[in-house]
Structures are given as structure tokens and as C-alpha cells.
């Protein structure tokens, strides 16, 4: 428990630094429009600040989890052979000894001996695995965004780092790869810690020994992932121009929903969907901007007009509450 306490202090410090980097990204790129993607396809416009704020919100929750976890986990364990403190004589005297030990170590005092109930140890490892999962999500996004075909972000540049042994032009996402590996390893340690909870009677015949593997390795993997995430996000290179270029690559198709919603009051929801759907097919097949096809479609251009259509097909006008939600996540920092 004393080692867990020291480990959590290190995790808390690194998590705080990571949160500061994410808050900076969310603030700087609050209005940097980019393509939101679902199933790896363009979905609707978002901003990079919105994406960073989503990452940040998860890390904020991990901070909350850590604060709530400490009182449950950081409790002294002192109970004797079967946990009853029988060798210390009277109940009052035995409990007083345990209370004094807790005070001297700076730990909480449990109501009852807990060495046969390993949920707090398992909870610690689950927390680290959850943190690793969130870091893995960030790393996966950044790794995909750094692919040549996307080109929207890149890890910090250091001469020689991430280069290929045979291809001098490459900048491999080294930190992202290490974070993803650590996240996967943390899931395995989380499973081990859950297995260790299931023991026999007042002292198990072996299952809890796997904690000796799961607990230190989980802290090591979590610390490594945090270190890599701090480095990567602290110097992340964001290419707003490439984000804008990718956003525009479908010539307005990414905001087809906006046109449909704008047209629906005039034609009804189903009719608006079918009209815009047909226009999208024509735009794709002819490789033309969606607005041009819509302007040639009387059932759409008639009720809406050119000015409204051009506004509806501008992705910057269809960001919803993305920026307002960024502001909420950043409030009070």
C-alpha cells in the first residue's frame, strides 16, 4: 500500500502535466475546423479543439477517479494470522495498536481486516488500465492523423527519432506505438488483478500472488504511456491547413446533412433526404461540388435560394455546439 501511494503520486503528477497539454491544444484549436470521421469515413465537421477536449474530458475523469480511489486503497493492513488481532489481547487494545500503526504510516484505518478481500488492489490496477485505454485512444487518433494520406498531425520532430533504417523520408509515430503497446499490456494486468480477487478463506493458497506481477507491471506500463503521451502532446505538430484541405476534399458532401435539415421545413424530412441523396450521388459521379448540383436541382434551389445553399454547404457553418462544449470543458482552468 505504501508503494501504491508513492506510485499514485507519480501518476497524478504526470496526469496533471498531460491535462495541461490537452487544455492548451483544445484552447488553441477551438475553431480549427476539420473532418469528423465515423467508420473511417467523413461524417460531419468538428474542430480539432473539440477532439482534444474530448480527450481532455476523459483525463479529467481519471483525475476524479484517482481522488476517489485513494481513501479506499490507502488503508493499513494489520491483522495477524487470520485477521482477528487475537495475539494482541483485548479488542480495544488490539484496535488501538492498529489505529496507531495507521497514524504513523499516514494511512487510513479500515473497519475490518481486508487482506482476504483484494478489491482495492484490483481497483488500483483497473484504474491504471482505464487510464491506459484513454491514452491508447489518443495515440490511435494521432497515429491515424499522422498517416501520409491524412497529414493532419505529427509527433514532435527530433533528429533521427522515428526514422526508418532504409527509408530516410519517414517519420514513424514512435510514441503512439509505445502508448498503444502499453495500453494492451495494461489490459492483461487488469485481468490478472481480477483473478487475484478470487481466493480461498482467510488466506489464499496462491491466487493473490499474481498481484506481484500485475501491480508493479501496471504501474510501469502506465508511467511509460504517460511519459510518451506528455512528450507527444506537449510538442504535437498540428497542420490546420491540411485539416482544411481534407475537410474540403469532398466538395461539400460532408455537410449534406445541413442541406437536408435546411430543406426539410419546405419539403418534409423524407423528401428532403431523397432530394439531397440524389444530388450527392450526382456530385460524386461527376466529381463536382455539391452546391453546383444543388443549384441545378429546382426542388432544392427553389425553396432555399443560392445564398442559403452556399451557407449550408460551408462546413464552418455546421459545427453545432462543438465550440461551446470546448468552452465548458475548459471552464475554470
Catalytic residue ranges: 164, 203
**Could you tell me which of 71, 99, 103, 78 has the C-alpha nearest to residue 5?**
71
Rounded Cα distance between 308 and 306, Å, is 6
Rounded Cα distance between 87 and 127, Å, is 36
Beta strands 41-47 and 237-238, pairing class: unpaired
- Which residues does 278 contact at the CB level (< 8 Å), separation at least 6? 297
Residues linked to residue 237 through DSSP beta bridges, in sequence order: 154
Do residues 129 and 190 lie in contact, with contact meaning Cβ atoms separated by under 8 Å?
yes
**Could you tell me which of 45, 48, 52 has the C-alpha nearest to residue 316?**
45
- Which residues does 140 contact at the CB level (< 8 Å), separation at least 6? 176, 180
Rounded Cα distance between 262 and 312, Å, is 8
Amino acid at each position: 500500500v505504501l508503494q501504491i501511494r508513492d506510485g499514485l503520486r507519480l501518476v497524478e503528477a504526470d496526469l496533471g502535466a498531460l491535462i495541461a497539454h490537452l487544455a492548451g491544444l483544445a484552447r488553441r484549436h477551438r475553431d480549427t475546423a476539420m473532418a469528423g470521421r465515423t467508420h473511417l469515413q467523413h461524417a460531419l465537421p468538428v474542430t480539432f479543439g473539440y477532439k482534444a477536449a474530448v480527450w481532455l474530458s476523459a483525463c479529467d475523469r481519471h483525475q476524479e477517479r484517482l481522488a476517489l480511489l485513494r481513501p479506499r486503497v490507502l488503508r493499513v493492513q494489520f491483522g495477524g494470522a487470520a485477521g482477528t488481532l487475537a495475539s494482541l489481547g483485548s479488542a480495544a487494545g488490539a484496535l488501538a495498536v492498529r489505529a496507531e500503526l495507521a497514524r504513523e504510516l499516514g494511512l487510513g484505518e479500515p473497519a475490518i481486516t481486508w487482506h482476504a478481500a483484494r478489491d482495492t488492489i484490483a481497483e488500483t490496477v483497473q484504474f491504471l488500465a482505464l487510464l491506459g485505454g484513454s491514452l491508447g485512444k489518443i495515440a490511435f487518433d494521432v497515429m491515424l492523423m499522422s498517416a501520409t494520406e491524412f497529414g493532419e498531425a505529427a509527433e514532435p520532430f527530433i533528429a533521427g527519432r522515428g526514422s526508418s533504417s532504409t527509408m530516410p523520408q519517414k517519420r514513424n509515430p514512435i510514441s503512439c506505438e509505445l502508448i498503444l503497446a502499453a495500453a494492451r499490456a495494461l489490459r492483461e494486468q487488469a485481468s490478472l488483478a481480477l483473478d487475484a480477487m478470487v481466493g480461498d478463506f482467510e488466506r489464499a493458497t496462491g491466487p493473490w500472488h499474481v498481484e506481484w506481477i500485475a501491480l508493479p507491471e501496471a504501474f510501469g506500463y502506465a508511467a511509460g504511456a504517460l511519459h510518451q503521451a506528455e512528450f507527444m502532446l506537449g510538442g504535437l505538430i498540428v497542420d490546420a491547413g491540411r485539416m482544411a484541405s481534407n475537410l474540403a476534399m469532398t466538395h461539400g458532401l460532408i455537410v449534406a446533412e445541413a442541406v437536408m435539415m435546411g430543406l426539410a421545413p419546405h419539403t418534409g424530412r423524407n423528401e428532403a433526404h431523397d432530394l439531397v441523396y440524389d444530388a450527392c450521388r450526382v456530385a460524386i459521379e461527376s466529381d463536382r461540388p455539391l452546391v453546383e448540383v444543388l443549384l441545378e436541382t429546382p426542388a432544392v434551389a427553389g425553396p432555399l435560394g443560392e445564398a442559403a445553399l452556399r451557407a449550408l454547404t460551408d462546413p464552418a457553418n455546421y459545427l453545432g455546439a462543438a465550440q461551446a462544449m470546448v468552452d465548458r470543458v475548459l471552464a475554470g482552468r
